[in-house]
Amino acid sequence: MGTFHDDLGPLHGITVVVDTKGPRVVVGRCHEITGKNVILHDVDVHEAGTDGVSKIEYLERAARIGTWVKHAHLSVSLDEVTSIQPLGDLAF
Amino acid sequence: MPYDPVLVQPMREELTVLGVHELTTAEEVEQYLADTSGTTLIIVNSVCGCAAGMARPGVRMALAHEKLPDRIATVFAGQDVEATAKARSYFADMPPSSPSLALFKDGEVVTFLPRHRIEGREAMDVAGDLVKAFEEHC
């Protein structure tokens, strides 16, 4: 996808949505997907239902304008991940 | 830590050679955006290869369109820090993102292209989004 670090995978440098089995959805810039984790930079984490905002509502807004960074780095276990896709691919 | 200015200079020139006005201080940004009449495109340039590498060629293609904003300017994120912060203060509802593009009409943001809508795409796709906004608002 045009990054300088192809050895880190096609999503390296791309802002992705990491959805989980639970209420949590994570948006951040993908560094690397290892065999166990997805490692992200500049990360926002949303818990569905907090502030009365559902996952879909949160992602609609994120797709439109982006997200506010809450964590410089975050590692999410692939055991809890259901999907990883570029935020820019979301269409509402 | 900012990148070496020598490394960044060609990335600035990719836009300035097109006639894009470069704003390097907060004062310059304030003066430039004081005129809220008509349309203004602000380009938040950056070093990032996977996104800015498509943003700048996308802007170049879009600026070949017949309908254009009245004013077009750029700030460089990570380099001209105060200018970038001042520019972002005019679209403070949008999370900071670089590169990004904000089109103003009569002082209001009418189109915002954040980084995630630039990265991983082709320059012509970015240009297409810009041209669509120019057609609608300019």
- Identify the pLDDT of residue A28: 97
CA of B117: which chain A residue's CA is closest? A88
- The residue count of chain B comes to 138
* d(C-alpha B93, C-alpha B6), whole Å: 33
Minimal Cα–Cα distance from B120 to chain A, Å?
A: 5
| Catalytic residue (choose from B20, B48, B63, B83) | B48
- Identify the pLDDT of residue A87: 96
What residues in B contact A3, CB-CB < 8 Å? 49-50
Residue A87, token pair as written in the block: 């935020």
DSSP string covering B38-94, please? SEEEEEEE---TTTHHHHHHHHHHHTTSSS--SEEEEEETTTSHHHHHHHHGGGTTS
* d(C-alpha B122, C-alpha A50), whole Å: 36
> Tokens 């670089």 map to which residue?
B98
How high does pLDDT run on average in chain A? 91
Is B138 considered catalytic here?
no
* d(C-alpha A69, C-alpha A45), whole Å: 9
- Identify the pLDDT of residue B129: 96
* d(C-alpha B4, C-alpha A58), whole Å: 38
The predicted-structure confidence for B17-74, as pLDDT tens digits, reads as follows: 999 999 999 999 999 999 999 999 999 999 876 676 789 999 999 999 999 999 999 9
Are B50 and A87 in contact (CB < 8 Å)?
no
- Range of B43's domain? 5-137
Minimal Cα–Cα distance from B121 to chain A, Å?
A: 8
Rounded to the nearest 10 degrees, what angle do helices B52-62 and B5-16 cross at?
A: 20
- Identify the pLDDT of residue B48: 73
> At A77, phi and psi to the nearest 5?
-65, 130
Instruction: Give the helix/strand (H/E) hosting A33.
Output: strand A24-33
Domains of chain A: residue spans and CATH: 6-86 (2.30.30.100)
Are A1 and B120 in contact (CB < 8 Å)?
yes
* d(C-alpha B42, C-alpha B102), whole Å: 5
Is B50 considered catalytic here?
yes
What CATH number is attached to the domain comprising B68? 3.40.30.10
Minimal Cα–Cα distance from B96 to chain A, Å?
A: 7
Give pTM, 2 decimals. 0.91
> Tokens 């940004």 map to which residue?
B29
- Identify the pLDDT of residue B112: 96
